[in-house]
Amino acid sequence: MNPEELTFLLPPATLAGLADAWLREDCPSLNYAALVTGAASSQAALWAKSPGVLAGRPFFDAIFAQLNCQVSWSFPEGSKLVPVVKVAEVRGPAHCLLLGERVALNMLARCSGVASAAAAAVEIARGTGWAGHVAGTRKTTPGFRLVEKYGLLVGGAAPHRYDLGGLLMVKDNHIVAAGSVEKAIRGARRAASFTLKVEVECSSLREAVEAAQAGADLVLLAAGALDFSLKLFSEGATPVPYARLS
């Protein structure tokens, strides 16, 4: 997918809400520094000083839109930046530029970092002949999940589930609580809508086969399960339609 088209995934109201929350977090009361700079019309330049993938333009724009500033970009979303290069210019009242500066830079650096790491992982995977998906997890930074999931997409990776409602994942603790893999999956199937897939975390070949036979849609090969996961893939004996190695 064209990275520029990914902007359509982000509802304007959501972007505005996030930008407002970030700005309020950074300046919840009095902005004394505004008295130093005043409201003179000014401009600032955004420079890339490290190589990477540019990601986060919609969030950056939303932050400065809250502050009545205008952003002009020199590169499209998803561009591979080679330093040192000017990426954008921002124009507006001086005190507004400085109020949004740190918030916008923090967000853009985070999103671009995730996109750059994702792009590198996808490139390595493709270089080995891997034809499956490279996906992220729900282990995101609180308050930045949408930014980081979006960064994965810009980098060419899959976001996996966005939240607990996007996929019913049965992990080791669920299996222990239920009493067995089969009982855990049976309970998951009762709870899940017919549109919701069930993924089961397995730490052995026996568990993977048991999960598949019990009706799992996906098998998550847990950390430390490299030996049996390689066996599954090398022999083409994957016991489910699709197995994801984590």
Which listed residue (49, 80, 86, 139) is catalytic? 139
Q: What is the dihedral of CA 17, 31, 34, 12, to 10 degrees?
A: 0
Half-sphere exposure of 116 (CA within 13 A, CB side): 14
Half-sphere exposure of 236 (CA within 13 A, CB side): 0
Residues in the chain: 246
Residue 139: active-site member: yes
**Neighbour count for residue 192 (Cβ, 10 Å):** 15
**Neighbour count for residue 1 (Cβ, 10 Å):** 10
- Catalytic positions are 139
